[in-house]
Structure 1
């Protein structure tokens, strides 16, 4: 990552800023799109706003950009209030760059002119030099004289990134920037984008509905639901220690079984494990396990079951195991390709640290 001194020496790169949302709320008619959200984004950090459609993540991004105005709370960049009760700066005065989901390139302008569009007011020669430098940074300098329709979707995304970076924003905001790309191209463009952001050392907020993408991109993830911040932390923290069962479900499929706390232990068909401190004897709970955290063996300890289906998925076998007392089979993702077949009797074991235990506010098998 470039040093602060190096960034000051290059006019196209700004010093990364700290962005803070402080108790921000916004309603449309009777619907609370954002409800009392507070998030701080560290300088040089990539934060992913993650959640399903309609959870408020794009609205929060638009508030930071100045496209929407909140009803309450404020937005602060490096200690300066840019939107709040005392002042509201226009978008162009905030030092914020924005990459839209559809890239918003001008079809009648060349790639070079698209990039230098954000440099209006600068001398023509200087704007052209800065635009070319930005295109070189995303490895598209040879396309300067082409038009957007000549480029692939991934290349257009990189042009949009160059255009957002060329004025030297303090914060970069990206709204579902990879959603329009097919899966194979998405991985490549995503990795290239992360590399560019790292080179620029810029603070970035990226909106996505894809949990795998959020884990690949974000230094931290802010999980949102129905306008509220549900959980904020490093990707591993959200995945390994989800705050509730809906958060756990959002990151992957789950096997969910009913359990009960007895003598300080959670008892279920998946065995007996120490109960979390917040639970007391007699509490009904949901015990959840991800399919790839479940281990299968032909003999040994664990829960007995019988294979009722097997599907080869390339890197794993998807195996469904019927267990006595459960209405639906458990799903297991096994790397031991071809070891188990339909009709086999076996045992299921889950490491205690891989079990997720929640108060039974939702019955096992319900959907969020």
Structure 2
């Protein structure tokens, strides 16, 4: 799932106004990255400093005055808002010809790798990860960088469908002492999701038992009442939900799903990860529906919410899977045929994706 957007108050291409994001398919969306002028990305930084675009646009190159840490934080901020292409442009311009030490630039390359992963460009992400080589004698100040790199590698491997290799990398992260708590929560949740995929491939229950053990222990460290604003908590709960579904513990899974729905309802604004998490939760609720319940309506709600988050986006691979499920469970022959046609349209032109556990692998019906 991909959420794109711009930070301007009006689209420079179609002049339409928008509040949070705008996804006009005008030429500006791609030309901003490869444009030879290239200064528009740094102008955006200046706009943020002043709370909006100036009356008279003065394009200036801020690179000499910018600190690498500031650019790193800004690239993450853009990505979380859904402006992945903007983030790529900012990093490309800052990194181009920059002669700062590799230790300084490494976080920017890893941020760029994460950008490419949102676009499912895993080869490009891998190239960015390789820009920093950990020294033989690792300094204490470089440990966090190594953790980030390993987690990034695990994400690339998982995203490209190499679950066995992803498990090995992520398990090293989780089993090594010293991993900061917020990174540990992310690594464990990714490991649990990967183990669910391996369970579906190997048909070995120990994969789920291992995932359940990792996640439940980590969740036990959160004091109650849990803070819904904690990103690590939300990410762990998503993995907890998936493990419970795969284990067939329906009532426990429903409780986790309801907790997540409540949490997302309490957030003032959902970033790109929380939007994905919300849609993932709705998919889980649809999978948990009994035959006597309206599972059709739940799957349609997944599509509706995805469209609300991405009003002008092309339908992604996940939508194709949802359409194929709707085609199977819809009792109206005409509607079922329409869903099957839409599924074929989407899946025929979209590459297989592993962003949400089971999508692209073991989620093909509602028999849980």
Give the TM-score normalised by structure 1: 0.28
* Bigger RCO (CA 8 Å, 6+ sep): 1
More strand by share: 1
Give the TM-score normalised by structure 2: 0.28
More helix by share: 2
